[in-house]
Structure formats: C-alpha cells, structure tokens
C-alpha cells in the first residue's frame, strides 16, 4: 500500500514537471473539448442541485428579502436624518420670538447669509440686507446659533 502511494506521488511530480515545461500541451489540446463538455455537464448538474437546495431551504427568498430590507433600512435612516435636520430648524425658528421678547430694545431684521469665508479669522460674512434696511457695516448682530 505504501509503494502505491509513493508511485502516485512520483507520478504527480512527473506530470507537474512535464506541464511546467509545456511538454503536456499536445495532450491537453486533444483532451480539452471532451473535458469541457464533461465539465459543462457537471456545472449544469451543480446548478440544478443548487436550485433544489435553494427551494428546500428558501435561501434565495431570504436573500431577496434581506436585500429589500437593507434598502428599506437605508431609506428610513435617510428619512430619520432629514427629520432631525427639520426638527433642529424648527427649534431655531421657534426660538426667534423669544429673542424678540428678550431684547425688545432691538429691531429684528431677518436676513440670510449669502457668503462667508471659513478661513477668515474675523469670521465675517455677507447677508442679503443692507443700508436700505437700516443696517450699517460693522454693526453687531445676533443670531439663533451664532453671530
């Protein structure tokens, strides 16, 4: 039995050596088409077997449901982020009347920031209001989150 194993190992080594030096190429060309045909039959059988397994364990349906649920989860996470952004904006808008009540001596002029330079050390910005609205350059301002 040990000698049969040794013959097998030596035969494998010899075939690897011959294949490495391309000495088996003529034999491989002749055997290529029958081997491909046999391989295709095994592949078809393997696919049929895989289909049977999927039918038995339902894994194809589970994978489809998993993909659908992942997409739904991503959509819900995006909606949750958007809801939090809207809640923050809502809180900011609700705080505006309290600013007016806290500082009745100041006149409120709502304005939107249209440009700002994040590298500016003075943190200056440009708004969409001007002198015709009663504002002047360099004046202080108050905002709901900064200014």
Q: Count of domains in the chain? A: 3
Residue 36 pLDDT > 90: no
Q: SS3 for the chain, per residue?
A: CHHHHHHHHHHHHHHHHHHHCCCCHHHHHHHHHHHHHHHHHHHHHHHHHHHHHHHHHCHHHHHHHHHHHHHHHHHHHHHHHHHHHHHHHHHHHHHHHHHHHHCCCCCCCCCCEEEECCCCCCCCEEECCCHHHCCCCCCCCCCCCCC
| Confidence (pTM) | 0.34
Taken in order 82, 83, 85, 89, the sign of the CA dihedral is: positive
Whether residues 53 and 5 share a domain: the answer is: yes
The pLDDT value given to residue 145? 54
pLDDT given for residue 57 in this prediction: 63
Amino acid 73: pLDDT? 94
Q: Residues 137, 98: one domain? A: no
- Asked if residue 52 and residue 29 are part of one domain, the reply reads yes
Q: Are residues 50 and 9 in the same domain?
A: yes
Q: Report how far residue 60's alpha carbon sits from residue 127's, in angstroms, rounded to the nearest whole number.
A: 57
Q: Are residues 48 and 1 in the same domain?
A: yes
Query: Domain range holding 17?
Result: 1-57
Q: What is the pLDDT of residue 41?
A: 64
Residue 45: the pLDDT is 65
> Residue 68: pLDDT band by 50, 70, 90 thresholds?
very high
* 37 pLDDT higher than 80: no
Average pLDDT, the chain: 78
Please report, rounded to a whole number, the percentage of residues in the chain having pLDDT higher than 90.
14
Q: Is there a single domain that holds both residue 14 and residue 53? A: yes
Chain segment 103-130, per-residue pLDDT in tens: 788 777 888 888 877 777 777 778 888 8
């Amino acid at each position: 039995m040990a000698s049969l194993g040794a013959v097998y190992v030596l035969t494998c080594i010899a075939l690897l050596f011959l294949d490495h030096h391309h000495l088996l190429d003529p034999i491989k060309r002749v055997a290529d088409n029958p081997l491909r045909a046999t391989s295709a039959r095994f592949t078809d059988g393997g696919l049929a077997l895989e289909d049977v397994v999927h039918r038995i364990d339902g894994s194809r349906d589970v994978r489809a449901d998993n993909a659908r649920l992942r997409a739904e989860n991503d959509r819900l996470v995006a909606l949750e982020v958007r809801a939090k952004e809207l809640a923050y904006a809502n809180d900011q808008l609700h705080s505006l009347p309290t600013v007016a009540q806290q500082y009745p001596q100041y006149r409120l002029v709502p304005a939107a920031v249209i440009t700002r330079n994040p590298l500016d050390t003075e943190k200056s910005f440009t708004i969409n209001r001007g002198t015709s609205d009663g504002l002047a350059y360099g004046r202080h301002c108050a905002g709901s989150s900064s200014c």
